[in-house]
Amino acid sequence: MASAVAEAAVRAGPRFRVGSRQVFLPNHVITLVQPKPNQPPTYATFLVPLKFNKLDLRDYLYHAYDVEVLSVRSFINQQKPRQPFEENGAKFGKWYRPLSKKMMTVELAKPFVFPKAPEDLEPWDQEMYDRLRKAQRGQLEARERIMAGKYPLREELEIQPQRVELARQAADLRKGKTQWKNDVVLDDKWEELERIQKTKEKSS
């Protein structure tokens, strides 16, 4: 009985009036925002274009995703003033205020639980990303110190293990303890070039 009532409700369509204008190739972007920790599962927040109104979002969710909403609240977040250019950590240029961002919070007829973030980030190479971010922050801080006239001393510089190992290998080569070798297997064309070079050296 309950399933029959649900099927009849689906066939009857939405419980609100929808727009009659058909849009086949929309040029707008709507983004689902991650909910706050205490936000109920019956509410969802979207980042929408400034020209969007509440009826547009309600119709969009229903026709694109078959999601029915009970109410819509909208608000606009004003952006902070900023300068357009940045070089060596210093910002310059005429101050301006970027376009505001329009947000809409909808009350869903059916609850939706936002998916949890994956615990294992290895498929996305999170370790490499963290190293790059750390290196970028270090470079930015170093540029800011130099721009402020605070040049780092040699004792304050961080010792890189790779540079220490490279210096040790170079010292062994100079002292004759080791010989230069490369274990990389070259392509056949490089072996042919090496053979031609040796032939030229012998003939000269």
**Domain presence at residue 87:** yes
Are the CB atoms for 46 and 103 separated by under 8 Å?
A: yes
pLDDT at res. 1? 45
Q: Is residue 78, in this structure, part of any structural domain at all?
A: yes
CA nearest 107: which of 61, 64, 140, 147? 61
Distance linking the first and last C-alpha atoms of the chain: 99
Q: Are strands 101-108 and 69-77 parallel, antiparallel or unpaired?
A: antiparallel
- Domain of 9 in residue numbering reads as 2-108
Rg value, the chain, Cα: 31
Structure tokens that stand for 76 in this block: 């606009």
The total number of structural domains that make up the chain: 1
- Residue 102 belongs to a domain: yes
Exposure letters 144-174 (e unless 16+ CB within 10 A, then b):
eeeeeeeeeeeeeeeeeeeeeeeeeeeeeee
Instruction: Give the global pTM.
Output: 0.56
CA-CA distances (angstroms) from residue 154 to 106, 107, 158, 173? Answer: 58, 60, 9, 26
Taken in order 165, 166, 168, 172, is the CA torsion positive or negative?
Answer: positive
Q: Is residue 176 part of a domain?
A: no
Residue at 30 is within a domain: yes
On whether residue 152 sits in a domain, the answer given is no
CATH number of residue 14's parent domain? 3.30.70.330
Sequence letter at residue 193? L
- Tens-digit pLDDT string for the chain (204 aa): 444 544 444 445 666 677 677 777 778 899 999 998 888 999 999 999 999 999 999 989 998 899 999 999 999 999 999 888 876 667 788 899 999 999 999 999 999 988 888 888 888 888 899 989 998 988 888 888 888 888 877 777 777 788 888 899 899 988 988 887 777 676 777 778 888 888 888 887
- The verdict on residue 132 lying in a domain is no
What pLDDT sits at residue 2?
A: 40
Contacts (Cβ under 8 Å, ≥6 apart) of 55: 19
Please indicate, yes or no, if residue 154 is contained in any of the structural domains. Answer: no
How many C-beta atoms surround the C-beta of residue 5 within 10 A? 9
